[in-house]
Chain A
Amino acid sequence: MTDRRASLMVTCLGDLFFPEVGVSIVRLLRKLGVTVDVPADQTCCGLPLFNSGYHADAAAVARRTVTLFKDSEHVVVPSGSCAWMVKHEYPGLLAGTPLARAASELAARTHEFSQFLVRVLGVTEFTAAVPGRVTYHDSCHLLRGLHESESPRTLLGKLKGADLVPLPGADECCGFGGSFAVRLPEVSSQILAKKLANVESTGAGCLVACDAGCLMQMGGGLTRAKSRVRAVHLAELLDGGR
């Protein structure tokens, strides 16, 4: 099918809390003929440091990441926010350093997972791991940072066994926002409550997102409310028919 090579940037949340997302991505990509590798000693893209204003520290983390992935043909990231960090903030953070050029090159070779499938590999036909009604939440960095709303919807719309229904207010924040969620937990929780009311109104059994942060927030809210809706990463849902 293809002789492409891709490196998985698993991200800290993906590595620590959602390892099955990484497993699904590896399996899916390999089935599509992509040779997958995972550079060792990955930690985090540095976005939490960057967003809280610790830019020198974020730059130090960025230097590590750029070095780790310097030989990768493509880098696939399961979270829109981490992809955005690498693509939009690394070049600025490392400007004027010996790694400036490597950072810009990495930015160009880095893709959020759904974008890699649709825009790089050009594959959109998959079978749902869990059949039934699904709905999609736009994560903020993927939507407004990387201007991507189509790729995940294309994949879900064509997904065998799944019925994609629109989520009211799909483009509104889920209230995660990294440290925001614990600095202003009451505000974050009220934003989440409104999001989940919209999710429940769709009748979907599966809430899909392309960002581990949103999944942590919305999934945590759903299980706390003992909802029958499951929050899943797009890759887990596409990984059916195996």
Chain B
Amino acid sequence: MTAGIKEFPGTSLKESDFEEGNVLFTTWTPKAEYAWDAGVAIGRYLAELKEGRIIGVRCRHCRRTVVPPRNFCEWCFRPMDDWIALSDTGTINTFSLCYVTWDMKRVEEPEISAVIDIDGTKPPVGIMHLLGEVEPDDVKIGMKVKAVWKPPEEREGAITDIKYFKPISNI
């Protein structure tokens, strides 16, 4: 739509115009703090992570157990029926070797992110996390892994209370 426009209206400014005082300006930094209410389901999920446990919820109607917990079954739209204690082991569903950080900086040693189907979910449902104590070349889909937790005093009720998942054969 703008392809035919050669000159846009307005006054273009460069960073140097601000630095050299060619233009008057004011700056404003709003205090954009927020608190996102985790709600009943995720709230308890995070609280249990702090205790070193992974929990899910079950829908009896659909006969499925899912993680992370949610209030409603998105298959049948009924409220979920039960809280289910899951184990902190699982199976690698898929994984990726990541050679850049979140802000696009190159890293030599890749971070290995993976979707891990948590044991006890039915049909298998995964959560995304990191893999550790494993060489990138050795990671295989279907590999059994176990959560490595932070020490209890360092946990804060976050998914990062699990440091990473490591292959069970290494235990």
A, B: real partners: no
CB within 8 Å of B: which residues of A? Answer: none
